[in-house]
Structure 1
């Protein structure tokens, strides 16, 4: 009996998720819920801005914090409130979904979020993310596009 040997390669380490890169628990579950209620640290905002290569001023607008409030909270080493932390988590979920739609190409995902979409009344998806309702519309559009429903 002769045997053949095949080379076995260990799978490459999976890349870190955006959640891990910005220091948050995965996109769902009790750990994330606890972190939202506690409020995200200000470093999460800076990490996300760096990760998506987007100005912090734009990011805090989506989250619903003014520049002066943000600066004051950073100086005092405060945390985001629960509503702002929830808004940031919504944004990360959308970025994750768009990145999946773009087959892992985060730069294309961020570009898509910043271009007007006919299905959103010619608004940029990123502009819609300041409310739960707008976020739902963006997520629905992403799912339609992923399933080939273009209108």
Structure 2
């Protein structure tokens, strides 16, 4: 786990608004008003997420999102199924856009992290929970389960149980 950078919420919200505007233009979406969009509201709009995944997440937006999440570059490379060297090459490319599968994974991890911070009310406690073996998850660390969609669903389910006070 890495230390999370204090990336400005305003900067991220602006980057998300800009991205959503482009997605809206390309997809002819009139579902949402661009000026109403924040990072948080973006993550909760499933239809907008679908269109965003299909368009692909730009590397610059990925970087802003990844700075807010506790994962190291090596973790990201593994989550996205992209070698660390390829990640560096993509970073160097002007206007690189991730394909749909890595884009979906980026947004899934952003959603899980957003939910976890909400459930724990404290980033540090959530990050500690992510890296601690969990009996309810087969004594695996939740972080280990985030590598595939079924594992991610198990982590999300466990977060919902914690939020409801179910500790079995």
Verify same fold: TM over 0.5: yes
Structure with more relative contact order (C-alpha pairs < 8 Å, separation 6 or more):
2
* RMSD, aligned α-carbons: 2.4
Counterpart CA distance in 1 for 2:53 and 2:131 is 26
> Can you give the 5+ residue segments of structure 2 that lack an aligned partner in the other structure?
1-7, 17-38
Structure number having the greater helix percentage: 2
Q: Which has the larger radius of gyration?
A: 1
Residues 20 and 42 (structure 1), Cα distance of their counterparts in 2 relative to 1, 3 Å cut: same
Deviation larger for 62-71 or 135-144: 62-71
For these two proteins, the number of residue pairs brought into alignment is 135
Show structure 1 runs of 4+ deviating over 3 A.
Answer: 19-25
Counterpart CA distance in 1 for 2:13 and 2:81 is 23
Matches within 5 A, 1:2-151: 16=9, 20=13, 23=16, 26-27=42-43, 28-77=45-94, 78-103=96-121, 105-151=122-168
- 1:10-51 CA-to-partner distances (Å, cap 9, x unmatched) read xxxxx959x738735611233322221111111233223322
Q: Does the 8 Å contact 1:128/1:134 carry over to 2?
A: yes
